[in-house]
Structure 1
Amino acid sequence: MHKWSLTLLLSETAIAINTCMKQYQLTVRVAGIAVNTVIHAERADAALRLAQHVYGAGNIVSQPRAI
Structure 2
Amino acid sequence: MQNHIRELRKSVKLSQEELAKLCKVSRQTINAIENDKYDPTLQLAFDIASVLNTTVDKLFISSSNKKR
Q: Is TM-score (shorter-chain normalized) higher than 0.5? A: no
1 or 2 for the larger relative contact order (CA 8 Å, sep ≥6)? 2
Which protein is bigger by CA-based radius of gyration?
1
Give the strand-richer structure, 1 or 2: 1
Taking structure 2 as the reference length, the TM-score comes to: 0.23
Give the helix-richer structure, 1 or 2: 2
